[in-house]
Structure 1
Amino acid sequence: MTKKLPLILFFLGSLFAYGQTDYGILIKSKITSPSVWPSNDYSGLHQITAGMNSCSIDFLEDNYKNDLYCFFYVTGNPTKIDFMEVLGGSPTCGQITRTIPYNKDTFKGWFFSGCLANAEIMPLHITRPDSNPKCKEDPITLNNGWNWQYQFDSEGWKNLPAQFQEQPSITFKIKDLPGYNSQANVHFIAGYEKYGQYTNTVTYSIIGCSPELAEKKPTANSVKCNNTATGSVTLKFESPLKKDDQFLFNLYRVNPVAPDTGFIKSIKASEKETENKTYTWEGIAAGTYTIKYQAQSKFDNGQIVGSSAIVTDSFTIENKDQLTFRTTAIQPKCSGDPGSIEISVTGGTSPYFYILDNGIKTPLTKNPDTINGVTDGAHTVTVLDSHGCIEN
């Protein structure tokens, strides 16, 4: 006599196919090739329980060659999983039970090698080893799923392509998802499609893809005047910004010393400002820095660069020596003749200029140089360098 058991799925508690929680367990079982069933017994059972919820897989004569599944949501905070294998009506295996520790936030899965069948117990709760946001070219990895769906903004859920289905871990790029067209966000869920039951939602913001650096070390220019924020740095890129994108640049001090620790400031640069695939950031004080940058939509007002930010090599903006000068009055040889003033300049950036008594700016042709034809009396001398710096 051949016995057949009906396929029974136990969902204890108040969970139904249309319910949704953040955590689930999926069991995949299949009869092992060494298993030899007695001719009068074509039935068996795998059952798994976590807390108040459970499901079972029944093995019958007409499904023993198939991968069989059951799924249930995990509610509360159970601390163990109970697993049972039964070969109905046969003393060959009888009943086998196993108990394993369980934490819904850390459970990585478990494999049971049975007398009747093998079972893979898989957690369903999407985790991601990478962070938000993402460029369409960045790889995205998602773990702890099985059947996968996505949606852009609020456009409706769609299945990921077939090569990503029935996979506990997947890696892909946003640009390869059908329907991508410069949307702002993409959402993912995973679960067991046959029952239409899915767990938590994971969301990524979509940012512009950042042009790579043509030179990892930017070109730094020293400050123009001592202890002023008049230095600059020039970045060169391999490609231009895409339409409707902008750069977000963040400046960081290397080996910072309080109070100027770490992050200094952010600026944005438009497509037009970088159309020659270069950008010069001006108004930077002397110091050693790196720049982290990424491309964003010009509609994005965020000031934080994400994990896909590009980081320059460190660069140093040098300080300038303080401009100082010394004047020496040279008396005339004869009474009533004009005298002279000798000027000697150090620091700053040549060429140098002088202004006598609020007159015109006149270049110093050598250093030291002499101002001739100075009348008797008190005079004021101002010295400037090529950047207009003066002695403080």
Structure 2
Amino acid sequence: MKTYIAGQGDTLRKIAYFHEISPYSLLKVNPWFTSLQDYVQPNTHVWIPTEKEPETAKEKPGSCLYEFGPKDLAMKLSMLQALYPSRLSVKTIGESVCHQPIYHMKIGKGNKHIFYSGGWHANEWMTSKFLVDWVEEVLRALYSENLLYDYNLSQIFESITLHVVPMVNPDGIELVHQGVYDGHPFAQTVRHINRSVERFDHWSANIRGVDLNHQWPAGWEEENLLSPQKPWPRHFGGPHPLSEPEVKAIYQLTNTYPFQHVLTFHSQGQLIYWGYRHKEPKESEEMARKLAVKSSYTPVHTAESDAGYKDWFIQDFKRPGFTIEIGVGQNPLPLSAYEEIWVNNVELALEGLVL
């Protein structure tokens, strides 16, 4: 038996995975944890069986064996940069409230710029994992010069540049995975917002209780009338539009590149929202239909809400914007939901490159 000291962002499933043992073996030797949903605070001493379990499952495309957070994103991006240095550019476009980096990936060299984003809501972290896994498959196909589900990516990326921000809300995602603890810079704030409840499965806001997809100057005043008027686990639009550093980073990125269309990934519902107050261009409906054909998801004109990133993009740029609601169930979706998400969204995301 050896001891592992838990770090920031750790979960029981994650610790087990990287030590090549089953999660239930980890629970067995650490009886003070009662379930795999228990939070593991930083600096917790966790017993690790010394014998690895060779039959332990390994992640592959379409599988999700542990919670994907900011530290996992950083490791994956570092690996992808090392493997595909000539095809992938990774930069930091800003920081979260807790000074975690907000990463921007760029692939391609064409004049048509397209933007995908995910991880807007804390308990929708699976969108971040999907985007990074999908980018990895795209890079692998580009490197091998193989078709990916009949899409000739080498040819496609001659004419487009794809931008991806996989995790807009790293602080919130980490809160959902690890909870809050003494020493956390926002412990008092978060506990107050959450009424001293120590579970955060329902939390979708950033770390100071602002919903990053209710922050945009597109009907913000109207949406604000129906939303909480103070920091809240969800739906509080902030003191004014564009108040949060995470949102400012996306705002600046969107004003830097001439995105022809944008796809924002959320969960859940298996839906494709494509309109906003009838301000969307005519081609949006047909583009949504093409995404639906590739995913089996249902296209819906509008979500009857305001102040979202897609809403603002459509309003200000008069270009197509889409919100993809991946998966079905209650957030945070169970790990088993990832199989459906992968199957139904790989080709949707590929089709988004050629709309």
TM-score (norm 2): 0.19
The structure with the larger Rg is 1
TM-score (norm 1): 0.18
Larger relative strand fraction: 1
Larger relative helix fraction: 2
